[in-house]
Amino acid sequence: MSSIHPDSIKNIHKLSIAPMMDCTDKHFRMIMRKISSEALLYSEMIVAQSLFHTDKKGKFLDFNNEEHPISIQFGGDDPEILKEAAKMAEDWGYDEINFNVGCPSPKVCSGNFGASLMKNPEKVAKCIESLKNNCSLPVTIKHRIGVDNDDSFTKLNKFVRYISNAGADRFIVHARKAILKGLNPKQNRTIPPLQYDVVKKLKKLNPELLIEINGGFKNINESLNALNDVDGVMIGRSAYKHPLRWSEIDQKIYGINTKTKSASDIIFSLIPYIEGHLSNGGKSWDICKHLINLVEGIPKAKIWRTQISDKSIRKELDIKFLLKATTRLQDMGY
């Protein structure tokens, strides 16, 4: 069974930004990296089979060097394909690999991976072993506290201990069970009740394991409270919809004495990156669809977001306009 050794402290990430489909692309990750130099970032989930069969592997694997530390999340159920995926992830320069056993999407579960795999711990163990044995990266797993009616604490504890014996380095536990029939993915993020006590109990009974909690955290103070009981906290939709709410991660979570950044600070720091993206044929909306979430709760925030959105969608936004709009934010103290 994996244990916490002094030299494994690098594998303990106090706070991470969850992998979210259609959200955590490399542009959003760059925004979050400007907010925090320490938080662990994740790729969107990559289906290992798709990666294995495509000729355009860079489309799935590319990230910016500034994004480290970064974890790549794989979904899949074929140990042989995951073996190749692990090698690619290491060769591409990722810092760790995460295996998804928590996604409740019908499309994902119909492929016999995601949350449905929790019902087959033997297969999960083989997948973890395949990832672990074919790279030198930490291999972690993200899962729910249960699936459908298979939601007893005894089953959860047995699952975690079994997968730990297969070599998993860290467990990211979404503190809700997944309901695969009757709820869509969005409902699965809100309707099954959060059960933080289950994750805390899991950690208490397995102090030698790295247990991270996920689900419903809305601010840094809630995260700090959770860190009294578990090793790490994963933030999802709150970080995506309200990124500036997390502008003090480095100071409050990691104890780093650094200036808190404003929305204008972050946007100005991203200008060279945006210029590079546009000069390489990229679209401004690729970045601005994430960028607009930085500006909220201030006078005329909606007007600012609408202007940036409209010009981006119409392909009329240039750096000059973005600089002018951001200077207005700065002049207002934001």
Residue numbers annotated as active site: 103
CA distance 158 to 72: 26
Q: At what angle do helices 121-133 and 79-92 cross, to 10 degrees?
A: 40
In the three-class reduction of DSSP (H, G, I as helix; E, B as strand; rest coil), residue 147 is classed as strand
Among residues 72, 84, 92, the alpha carbon closest in space to that of 16 is found at 72
CA distance 159 to 115: 13
Q: Which two tokens stand for residue 285?
A: 């909306």
Please report how many Cα atoms fall inside a 13 Å half-sphere around the Cα of residue 223, on the Cβ side: 27
Angle in degrees, CA 62, 67, 71, rounded to 5 = 70
Sort strands 211-214 and 232-235 into parallel, antiparallel or unpaired.
Answer: parallel
Among residues 72, 43, 17, the alpha carbon closest in space to that of 246 is found at 17
